[in-house]
Every structure is written in C-alpha cells, then in structure tokens.
Structure 1
Amino acid sequence: MTDNNNLNGAGAGAEGRDRVIGTPTADGDTLVSGTEESAASSQQRHIGPYPAVETHPRTEEQQRKGERSAALWFLVAFVSGVGFLVSYFLFPPAADGAPSIAHPATAQLANMAMGGTLALSLFAIGAGMTVWARQVMPHYEVSTPYDELPSSPKEKSSFSDFFMRGAHESGFTKRPLMRRTLIAAMLPLGLAPVVLLRDTGPLPGDRLKHTMWESGMRMVVEGTDREIRATDLDRVGGMISALPKAPHEGEHGHGLTLNEQAKAVILLIKMDEFGPDMTEQQRSWTADGIVAYSKICTHVGCPAALYERTTHRILCPCHQSTFDAANGAKVVFGPAHRPLPQLPLRVDDEGYLVAAGDFSSAVGPTFWDAEKGD
C-alpha cells in the first residue's frame, strides 16, 4: 500500500498523493504513463478546436498508392459514364416518342448497355471514394467536450482556416490527380439526367388547361354520332353523357382519339332550379336549364358517371367524391379538392346544343391545374 501511494504521489508531483494515472490536474492536463506518452508522441496531432490524435498514420508512399487507386476507379467511372451516353444515342427514340428499337434482342441489348454502364459508373465512383477515405484521408480520434451550443467569436473566426486545413488533409487540394479524375468521373453523370429529359418530349405549356371544345361546336351522345338538341333533355333530372362533334367531315364523336375523349367528355343535366352557391356567371353558362360539367373527377381522373336526380349529386365511384350539380358542381364529400369544370352552353338557331367556349378551368386531377385557387 505504501509503495502504491508513493508511486501515485511521484507521478502526480505537487498535486498530492491522491492523484492516479488518467485523472486531470487542476490545469486540465491528464497524467499518462510512460508507454502512453511515447505512443501519443509518435502520432500526428490534429490542430483544431478539440483534441484529436491520428489513429492510423500512413506514410507518404502509402497515401500516393491510395491516390493512384482512387484515380483509377474514377477513370473507370468516367469511361463508363461516357459509355452510357454513347449507348443512349446509339438507340435513339423515334421522332414521335415511340421506341425505334423494333427487334426484342436489340431492345434487350440497349437496356443492358445503358443499365450496365450506368451501374458501373456509380459503383466505380463509390469504390474510388471508399479508397480515398480509407487510404488517403487521415483518421482522427476526437475528444469533444460538452460545450455551450453558441460558438465563441474565436471559434467562428477560425472556422475558415479550420475548413481549409481539413480540405488539405483530405487530399482534395493536395492531390490533383485524384481531384481531377473525380471531377471527370462526375461530368458524364451530371449530363445523364439532362439527356434523359429528351424522352419526356416538349414542355406542355398551358395545353393541359385547354380541350378541343370551342365556341359553336356541337355535341353528340357518347358512343354515337347523334347530335343533341335542347329538347332531348326536356325531362327534369335527365342526364346525357356527351362528346364534341369532330370538326372534320365524316367523323363523329366516338371517332375521336381516346386522349381527346378523355379531356372533352361531359355530363349534360337538366335542372329545374339552381342553388344559392351558383354564381351569376355560372348561371349564364347554362341553356334552357341545362348545365354541362366535365365527366372527369378532379381527384385522380376517374369518370364521375353516376347521377342522383333527387339530390342533384354527381358521384365518382372510384373514391366516392361527390359534387353538387345544382351549385356549380362544388365538392360536398370525398377526397376531391375542387369542383368539376363547367362547360358554357348555348342553343344555336336550329335548336342544337353547342359549346359557348372551353371549360371554366383545367379538366382532371387537381395537380394538372396550376391555379390552386380554382
């Protein structure tokens, strides 16, 4: 017992006989053994706001070897990225957006070429970064005390120097071969998304907000070529699903393309009266008590084809969105967020129902419409 106390006292010096190895002094220093001190002196110390000692020191030759390995991986990534771009332009899409690869074997080859080169490029960049981190960058064991959250003015002023020192130690500024090959490897991948946007076609502009309806265009019963007169809906509560009459000679409603039908299909409903939420402008868009709404639900685009004449409710069967036909087709139940767009109507000199313009707002799901206030 006496020998141990004497040993502690000798190590502690003036600090007294209660000091043991590993405990801090009043000045904040820590007493270490001779073996620990010699090991710590052989390691590189990191200059920074907190104490840090490099745990895996490497010679300059080892770091240069790691630099060459990382640069080799980055070159592989660069070549693979260029290969991806070459593979993409080697099998371009047709002018109308359809794939120009007719034979299945050719299509499989194109997919393998583009997928393989892109996968190899991403893998090589990851491998190069791993080699960089493990063989070039220093590894420190950092001791971080529980400081106050706000940084002191001294720490704030030294951040720039500390950041640049870290960048230098990482090898990014010190080793140009590795830095340049990394930048070269990233360039093809940066161009890849821009090139792939070519397949999405031109920007839609405001085309999603407009359909083929225009003033004076007659309408036909969906699935037929029979034009609709206002007298065809004399019975209150009557409902007809209609499409625009195709503008070209000899064509009829069900001869339209599916895309044109999906945008332009409407519900014609005969009302005896309108509710208080129907604005004057919406009332002016009706003709002889007949109102026209888009048949496409504003939730996810299902056909809102069910109508309950006693309550004037239009129901979408997909998710039960319900619209009030007597009050501008406003939403009364379900996940839809905006009313069904209304089509302005009028009756021409021959008694046929015709459109007085396009829909009041964009047709279909809400995300098609940029005007969130609708």
Structure 2
Amino acid sequence: MSDLTKSEHPATGGALDPLSHGEGAVDRFPDPGLPEHKHRLSDKSEANAKRVERQVALIFGLSVLASIGGVVGYFAFPVGSTLGSVQASTLSIGLGLGIGMLGIGVAAVHWAKALMSDVEKVDERHPQRSDDATRAAAVQELKDGADDSRIARRPVLKGALVSAVAVAPLAFVVPFVGNLGGDWNVSRFRYTMWAPGVRLARDPDGALIRPEDVTIGSVWHVIPDGLDESEHMLEEKAKAVVLLVRLDPKDLTEEPGRESWSWDGIVAYSKVCTHVGCPVALYEQQTHHLLCPCHQSTFDVSDGAKVVFGPAKRALPQLPIMVDDEGYLAAQSDFHEMVGPSTWERERYVDYPVPDEEKAH
C-alpha cells in the first residue's frame, strides 16, 4: 500500500493518494465552481415578469372554469337508463376534474420556472447542530427566499392559486355528496329479469343460444332475452349478466339438489363478483377457474363457482337453466340468492322463493 500511494498515476502523472482529506492531502479534482447564471426574460424586465404573471393567472383561471364545468356537467347530464347518459356524465365530470387539476399543475410549474428565484445556492457541509448564529442566518435566508420569490408582491397570482385549489375538488365532492341521498335499498338485488322460461341471449347482439352452439371450454357472455326493451336497461343488465360455460360432464361437481340446474355440462353463473361487484370475465380452460380482474378473486366453475382464492367470501350465484320446447337455452327461475357483493341483508334472501306475483312488485 505504501508503494502504491507514492507512485504516479499512469495517465495523469498525479500522485495516487487514497485519502482526499487530512494534512498533506492532494487535491486532484479542483472545484469547478458554479456555471455562469443565465438570466431569464422575466429577470430582465418587470414588463416580462408581468406578462408571465398574466399567463400563470390565465392558466389558473382556466383550471377554475374547468372545475366549475365538471360540477355543471354533473347536473346537466344526469345518469339515466341509457348508455349515452352515462357516457356524457362521465365525460363531463372527468374532463372537469382532469383539466382542473392539470391547470393547477401547469400553472404552478410555470410560476416556479419563470418567476421564482433560480439562482443556485451552495450549502456547505457542517455538523448537524449549527451554532445559534448559523441557525439565525438560515432562518433569515428562508425569509429572503420568500421575498425573492415575490409572492408577497403578486397578490393576483396568490388569489388565482387559492381560487383554483379551492374550486378544483368541487368536481368530485359535489357528485359524491349528491349521491349520498341515493337509493340504498340493497333488496333491489333480490330479483333480476331472469324468470321461468326467459331465454338466454348472447351479449351484446341478443342472439338466442342453443346447447349445440356451446362447445366444451367455450365461454359466453349472456343477458336475458328482451333486455333492450326494459325501462331500466342498464340497471337490469348490471344485475342479470351471466357467464355461460360448458365443461365435460365428468368434470362437473354439483351440489345435492342442484343436479338439474345444468344441461349436459353447461352451467351459468352470475358475472358479478361477490367481493365488490366487478365483472368476472377471465376464464382459464385448463383449471376451470374464473378470475375477477379487480382483486383477483378466483372461482372454480367445475365446483359450484366456489371461491378458491382472493377476498371474495362466497360463491358466484348459479342460474338454473334448461332447454325449452324450441331447443333454446332458458332459465328455470331467477337466481336463488342475491347477486353481487355481500350485504348485511343478504342472509335473509338465501334460497328464497321467487313467486312471479311478488317479483312483479
């Protein structure tokens, strides 16, 4: 080691000293210092600074208008029973939120880059606890920095910033508060459009399904026939969507009393996850598993759609099916339990009867 430290570097000829501090240390890398400061246009004249200030205020103003537009859109495009109303409401609120938040970010960045101080500072290393004089100087530097940023001298920007930040949350607060008074009657999920004899139709074209159309391993997204004629089509579809799968009958395990709910290996289960209601739509043919893409709840189609993994706590409700006189797949009845996420009232409706006169009400 002693020979190495006293030798010459082959490329630079400088002494190879492993230490860069202490008595007799060799300073091999001189401090290059700070580059020459380049003044911005806003630094060169107050007129340029005022122009940037107006630009920032304008962007904040656009953010305010966008946020207000999102609130207006919530009332102007109420969610109805059509897909168009859902799209219009979602688009108006989303644009209001997105442009409002984007405006705040763009304005803040432009303000910082064009008006606030961009002079580089050097902070020398020192012991963690500075002396009182140094601490007082640091506090003074912070005050000087605030003065240098010209915040106090630009009330227009302060007002625009406060307005944009105050108004931006309204685009999602107002819809949230407005929906607090909605219909929280979870018993509406007790019944769906499925009833004895209602045929299974392919989603979205509504084509009726024959058993021979469904091959082993195939998956069909199914809705009740006549759904498009319903007054509340979207609400009814959200409850009644079904996933139809055909397995080899020898691979199918059926609970006692449910042997007649399938047809030659064809089974139908609710597509609404029993965790939080996401659409269960990913089918793995080899394992017969259905996966919910939201939180990875996994259901075994070959064994009553029971939960094999994930946060869901109960199996997917099964729709009893049959083949009608014309050879089409149809429902034997409605589901025998509530579809969707578990609720505090669900246990009241497990294996409930579904008389048509009660369902009509």
Give the TM-score category using the shorter length: 0.3 to 0.5
Higher alpha-carbon Rg: 1
TM-score, L = length of structure 2: 0.43
TM-score, L = length of structure 1: 0.42
